[in-house]
Amino acid sequence: MKMIDLILKKRSGKALSPAEIHWFIQGYTNRIIPDYQVSALMMAIYFKGMTNGETLELVKAMIASGDVVDLSHIAGIKVDKHSTGGVGDKTSIVLGPMVAACGVPLAKLSGRGLGHTGGTLDKLESFSGFHVELDMETFVRNVANIGIAIASQTANLVPADKRLYSLRDVTGTVENHSLIAGSIMSKKLASGADAIVLDVKTGSGAFMQNTEDAFELARAMVEIGVNLGRRCVAVVTDMEQPLGKAIGNASEVKEAIASLKGEGPADLMEICMELGAQILVLSDVAKDTVVAKQKLQTVIESGKALEKLKELVAAQGGDPSEVDNPDKLPGAVHRRVLLADKDGYVQRLEAIKVGKASMQLGAGRATKASRIDPGAGILLHKKAGVLTNKGDVLAELFTNDDDRLNIATETLRDAYTIGEKIPETRPLIHGLVAP
Ligand code: URA
């Protein structure tokens, strides 16, 4: 085969054959096909799209490019949960222990945060000593022994995606639903779970800002999961404003701990309950979402979910006493408050700008090489829809580098729109996509 023929075929809008898709993925992973030709093919795919059949072959070829995690000897339906990313999204740290405490093994391989979105791994590393780089044997053993492991993807898990995603990132070819769905689902399917619950975010802080796009991506991913033999559903949830009140690594962990004690913010708990209920139903632990939500509530009230977080922290080398004493988690020496400059309702609190302010405080990575300040972050006192008076505290900003405060405060100020009219509320859960 010749790469030029594949480029011309796709450029003219024709579907690539399974053999052609497997050939180019293998050739690119093995560095036989050069970047410039794969860039051209990605651009042709960006404009001409892929059929569902082509997307499925792409996923299969990407999975075959590396290792696949084998969880088959662990009893029960093993689940994985994936979020397309947002601001203040500490759902996995709450939900993982909740479902594991209900008897559902959760095996989650994650990436790190980049730009305005935070990553679960960075958040968990706020616990002193916590390891996210587990070898596969330890990862699988922890899922078998305590019912939960959250670790980073190994170098050889879908190596084709590592190369392709970096290339798409610099060639303007990320935003194609087949390529995004293929990229996410190949990693989820290679991670070995039997059931996958996807949290597809929509709104200003989400990858898919438009709700219709979010549903389309959700449908594409669920179809891939089901066609490749997994139980799979997606919930499209709102990311117009941040989730919960805390943004930043250690402060999000503190909010996750409070949530497992039954003291979580209402929006975060609603999302955790909905995703958790879907997980319990998919894994046959509950007959419907009503029963599932009761079970999830019970493990919070009994303290079992909080105990499970301590087991997770201990099993990955962290200090579980920090779960009992969250004040031992990293903090920040510099604090500033953002005050409302007029009376009115918070019309909008744009998640993307809050995420950017948090990054400017040191809580996120501007580039892959940036170092994170685990104590940096933001605590939101007022969110969209709330009435505020001039001089009220809208939010607090924290950092260990006071040079960062001025710019972050201005970005955060810009995230708020205050006005007279009562704003319309957006739904937190936009809908479910099931096969
Ligand atoms: N996240 C991924 O893992 N892949 C994409 O293509 C887009 C977002």
- Whether the CB of 184 sits within 6 Å of ligand 1: yes
Q: How confident is the model over 137-164, as pLDDT tens digits?
A: 999 999 999 999 999 988 899 999 999 9
Q: What is the pLDDT of residue 360?
A: 96
Q: What is the pLDDT of residue 351?
A: 96
Measured by CA distance, the residue closest to atom 8 of ligand 1 is 180
Task: In whole angstroms, give the CA distance from residue 20 to residue 5.
Answer: 10
Nearest Cα residue to 177 out of 88, 52, 62: 52
Task: In whole angstroms, give the CA distance from residue 250 to residue 254.
Answer: 6
Q: Which two tokens stand for residue 103?
A: 């008897």
Q: What average pLDDT does the chain have?
A: 96
State the catalytic residue, choosing from 90, 187, 201, 365. 187
% of the chain exceeding 70 in pLDDT:
100
**From ligand 1's centre to the CA of 188, what distance in Å?**
11
Q: What is the pLDDT of residue 154?
A: 86
β-pairing, 231-238 with 344-349?
A: unpaired
Q: What is the pLDDT of residue 169?
A: 86
Mean pLDDT of the region 248-259: 97
Q: What is the DSSP letter of 327?
A: G
Residue 114 has pLDDT above 70, yes or no: no
Q: What is the pLDDT of residue 368?
A: 75
- Whether the CB of 180 sits within 6 Å of ligand 1: yes
- Whether the CB of 429 sits within 6 Å of ligand 1: no
Measured by CA distance, the residue closest to atom 3 of ligand 1 is 184
State the catalytic residue, choosing from 168, 188, 353, 356. 168
**From ligand 1's centre to the CA of 23, what distance in Å?**
22
Question: Helices (DSSP H) in 132-210: which residue ranges?
Answer: 136-146, 159-169, 177-190
- Whether the CB of 183 sits within 6 Å of ligand 1: yes
- Whether the CB of 112 sits within 6 Å of ligand 1: no
**From ligand 1's centre to the CA of 263, what distance in Å?**
33
Active site residue 82: yes
Give yes or no for a contact between 222 and 434, defined as CB atoms under 8 angstroms apart.
Answer: yes
What is the pLDDT confidence band of residue 112, given thresholds at 50, 70 and 90? confident
Q: How confident is the model over 218-244, as pLDDT tens digits?
A: 999 999 999 999 999 999 999 999 999
% of the chain exceeding 90 in pLDDT:
93
What is the pLDDT confidence band of residue 321, given thresholds at 50, 70 and 90? very high
Q: How confident is the model over 59-86, as pLDDT tens digits?
A: 999 999 999 999 999 999 999 999 998 9
Q: What is the pLDDT of residue 371?
A: 87
Atom of ligand 1 nearest to the CA of 187: 3
Q: What is the pLDDT of residue 350?
A: 97
Active site residue 187: yes
Q: How confident is the model over 36-65, as pLDDT tens digits?
A: 999 999 999 999 999 999 999 999 999 999
Q: How confident is the model over 366-411, as pLDDT tens digits?
A: 777 778 999 999 999 999 999 999 999 999 999 999 999 999 999 9
Whose structure tokens read 């970047």? Answer: 35
